[in-house]
Structure 1
Amino acid sequence: MYTRAEVYSPLQNTAVWLAAWLYGAESTDETVSAFADLGGRHSYGGQPLSPLLYDARTHADLDSPEPVLRLVLWGPGQAPGLHAHTPAAAALGPAGAIVLKEADDRFHVLVPSYGAGVEWRWFEEDTRPPEPAWLSPGEADALLAGATREAAVLIEAAGGTRADLPNPRLAVGSLADFYDTPGLPRGVTPRAAKLFSRADRVAAIVETVTDRLGDHTFDPQLNALWRHIRTARMVGVAEAVAEYRRQWR
């Protein structure tokens, strides 16, 4: 299995950029440019990105006390936060989805498909989607910190397994730079940025051991970290969105 599909999420930063644009923290031009950096050409119903942004602004309840936008990630050991047997769930791919809250407890699901570019599909939900974990940034960070300590032990143990890659930590640093680009919009709370950074670091460690070192000795332990990485990304997005509401509304 190719690890990056499980631990990397271009949709994470896409969701934060969309929230920044909805609350006026970033311009349309900067947002469209960031979307392109995060997937190339975006299309929506055969049209460019602009109609998607317009529909998001039309339906978003920017005064909602809960995050108006949340990220849905899923994978082995973690079910998606959507109702099963719905059109949105059927369309859901490995990249995940964005859930947008409208007034009167109505919800919309934006599902991207990544290929040569990004094709978006929009679904309306008749009922409230399943509740996410709603962890605090501190709780998510503590879970991921524990995962980081465990992963650090594993990367040290893997350090001598390949003569052609004698410095796994250097490889981790290189991959961490990949995961960290492109950047986040202005106004992202430091707590969200910290969660994203830690998730990127652990993701780089996991990919280094499994794909770069080719060492599958620790697959059961490493695969268990995927859920913590995804959860940190989802909680970080919720924290960033909440901060935009507090600071920019």
Structure 2
Amino acid sequence: MDIRAEVWSPLQNTAVWLGAWLHGLTPTDDLVDALLDLGGSGLTDVLRDLRQVTRGVAGEEPVLRLVLSGPGEAPALRAGSAGAEAASVSGVGALVVRDRDPLTSHILVPDGDGDWQWFTDDLPQPAPAWLSPGEADQLLTRATEEAARMVEASGYRTDALSSPRLTVGTLSDFYDTPGLPGAVPPRAAKLFARADRVAAIVETVTQRLDDHRIDPQLLGLWRHIRAARMAGVAYAVREFGRLT
């Protein structure tokens, strides 16, 4: 199993860059460069269409949001819809883009090779959790502390990772690349950094050290990592809208 695919997704940064661009906070050239770095080059072909469907969208909800899923957790998209089925098959998540029609959503699903599928759904999507950055950070922190206690209670030790709360520096550059637009609110950036740190812990123990003795304690963090990333994207894009 590819642990990295479960704890990190380029869709997080892709969603933030798109949100900043749709609200006029980052130039097109910078967006295109970021998409190329993130492996989302196929989105460059539909930027004009995205601008068109989101023009005039109003309300407090963010113009786009991130949907991630994992083992035992279906994507939060309308059950049985083409977008939900495509997201389940791809396993890498989706972007939900709002339309001027409040009942219409556009579901963008990457295939992992740079191409994207676009689905338009005229029925309401499931309501997301709408966690605030503080709530998501608190849940992730509590889950991490509980996992750390369980690991320590098990007597687990390794020379390469002396504490389950420590991350490995060699992974930091990967999780930071290719960065985020300058308009990202500090609260969202902090939440992304927290999710990256916990993701690095999980990947280090299970993948880099090839040690699976404490998988049950660490893998339970996946859901909280995904929730933090989705909450951070929703908050950032909502704040972009308030700046314009």
TM-score past 0.5 threshold: yes
Shift of 1:173: 2.1
- The answer (yes or no) to whether the contact 1:62–1:245 under 8 Å persists in 2 is no
Asked if 2 retains the 8 angstrom alpha-carbon contact of 1:108 and 1:122, the reply is yes
CA shift at 1:232, angstroms?
A: 0.2
Q: Are residues 14 and 132 of structure 1, via their aligned partners in 2, closer, same or farther at CA, if it must alter by over 3 Å?
A: same
The residue identity in structure 2 corresponding to 1:112 is: P
Q: Distance in 2 between matches of 1:66 and 1:132?
A: 11
Secondary structure of 2:190's match?
helix
- Separation in 2 of the partners of 1:171 and 1:140? 20
Tell me what 1:96 maps to.
Answer: 93
Compared with structure 1, are the counterparts of its residues 79 and 25 closer, same or farther at alpha carbon in structure 2 (3 Å cutoff)?
same
Match of 2:46 in 1: 52
Match of 1:111 among 109, 112, 130: 109
Alpha-carbon separation, structure 2, partners of 1:216 and 1:144: 21
Q: Identify which of 56, 67, 76 aligns with 1:72.
A: 67
Query: Superposed, which structure 2 residues align to 1:127-138 within 5 Å?
Result: 127-138=123-134
Aligned to 1:196: 192
What is the CA-CA distance between 1:175 and the residue it aligns to?
1.3
Provide the rounded CA distance (Å) in 1 between the counterparts of 2:161 and 2:234.
Answer: 39
1:240 equivalent in structure 2:
236
Q: Report how far residue 121 of structure 1 moved.
A: 1.1
Task: Give the C-alpha shift of residue 9 in structure 1.
Answer: 0.6
Give a deviation string over 1:136-192, Cα, whole Å, max 9, x none. Answer: 1111010011123234456765442x6xx3667886222133112110001111111
Look up the match of 1:85.
80
- Map 1:1-249 to 2 at 5 A: 1-39=1-39, 42-43=41-42, 49=44, 51-60=45-54, 61-92=56-87, 93-105=90-102, 106-115=104-113, 118-153=114-149, 158-160=156-158, 165=160, 172-247=168-243, 249=244
Letter in 1 for 2:42: S
Give the TM-score normalised by structure 2.
Answer: 0.90
RMSD (Å), alpha carbons:
2.0
Are 1:151 and 1:206, in contact at CA under 8 Å, matched by a contact in 2? Answer: no
CA deviation vs aligned residue, 1:56-114 (integer Å, no higher than 9, x gap)? 11111543321110000000132211112211122111210000011121211011111
Instruction: Rate the CA distance shift 1:171–1:133 in 2: closer, same or farther, 3 A.
Output: closer
Separation (CA, whole Å) in 2 of partners of 1:135 and 1:214 = 33
Amino acid paired to 2:214: F
- The answer as to whether partners of 1:97 and 1:111 remain within 8 angstroms in 2 is yes
Q: Give 3-state SS (helix, strand or coil) of 1:100's partner.
A: strand
Whole-angstrom CA distance in 2 between matches of 1:183 and 1:86:
33
Q: Aligned in 2, Cα 1:21/1:55: closer, same or farther, shift over 3 Å? A: same
* 8 A Cα contact 2:69 2:75, kept in partner: yes
- Structure 1 residue 234: Cα displacement: 0.2
Instruction: For residue 65 of structure 1, give the secondary structure of its aligned residue in structure 2.
Output: coil
**Contact 1:97 1:110 (8 Å CA) reproduced:** yes
Per the TM alignment, residue 212 of structure 1 is displaced from its structure 2 partner at its CA by 1.4
Unmatched runs of 5 consecutive residues or more in structure 1: none
8 Å CA contact 1:6–1:75 kept in 2: the answer is: yes
Identity of aligned pairs, percent? 58
TM-score, normalising length: structure 1: 0.88
Letter in 2 for 1:135: L
Tell me, yes or no, if the aligned pair for 1:110 and 1:123 is still in contact at 8 Å.
yes
Closer/same/farther in 2, CA of residues 151 and 180 from structure 1, 3 Å limit: farther
- 3-state DSSP class of the match of 1:135? coil
Q: How far off is 1:33 after superposition?
A: 0.1
